Amino acid sequence: MKVLQASDIHGSMAAASALAEKAVDYDIVVLVGDITHFGAIPQAEPILATVAKCGRPIFFVPGNCDHPSLLTWRPSNKNIINIHGSNVSQGAYDFYGLGGGNLSPFNTLIEFSEEEFEDMLSKFTPAAENFILVSHTPPFGVDADLGRGRHLGSTAIRKFVEAKRPLAVCCGHIHEGRSISRIGETVVVNAGPAKEGFYASLKIDGREVKAELHSF
């Protein structure tokens, strides 16, 4: 299975159009939050609809710069699926979604405490290790959460990854943290901000994950 991963579009229609062109070469698209730049459903809908022109399934979670209304929004386009707090199957793999950012000094629109993240993650009960975590916030202590010279990710997400061992974590949020790294055997991918022309790909075959960073 070939996955196109992008995050932090921040309302850029140009980025959404570019991603739609790239996505025709993939099986699915995961959009890992900050679809808008402090926008709500009316701003998110055209962005997602533009990416969906690729004709591939779109799985998304909202980010900290999206309005809280996106947490429970279910788009009318059946090809666009909000997986925050839930999961969806694609072939042999399950995708679990966790939106929002961790607490920050900036008081952005969707932020959760570590206790809230832990509570949401405790409801995820993957039956096997053939699943992917789609989380706007990266796990703590990897290249993906490095910003301003320090680690800014979530300790609750890190604990979940260590315990449940997903095949991959698709994350974003920390723009400077564009990278591919690992927690044990789990591949952690921060594709970098799509608004600046970045995305990533994951090729998943059994339990083998090959990830690459790209630009457009």
CATH number of domain containing 27: 3.60.21.10
Range of the domain at 142: 2-215
pTM score: 0.98
Alpha carbons 85 and 121: distance in angstroms, whole number: 8
The number of folded domains in the chain is 1
CB 190 within 8 A of CB 178: yes
Both structure tokens of 11: 């309302």
Alpha carbons 49 and 70: distance in angstroms, whole number: 15
The per-residue pLDDT string of the chain (216 residues; one tens digit each, 9 = 90 and over) reads 999 999 999 999 999 999 999 999 999 999 999 999 999 999 999 999 999 999 999 999 999 999 999 999 999 999 999 999 999 999 999 999 999 999 999 999 999 999 999 999 999 999 877 999 999 999 999 999 999 899 999 999 999 999 999 999 999 999 999 999 999 999 999 999 999 999 999 999 999 999 999 999
What single letter denotes the amino acid at residue 126? P
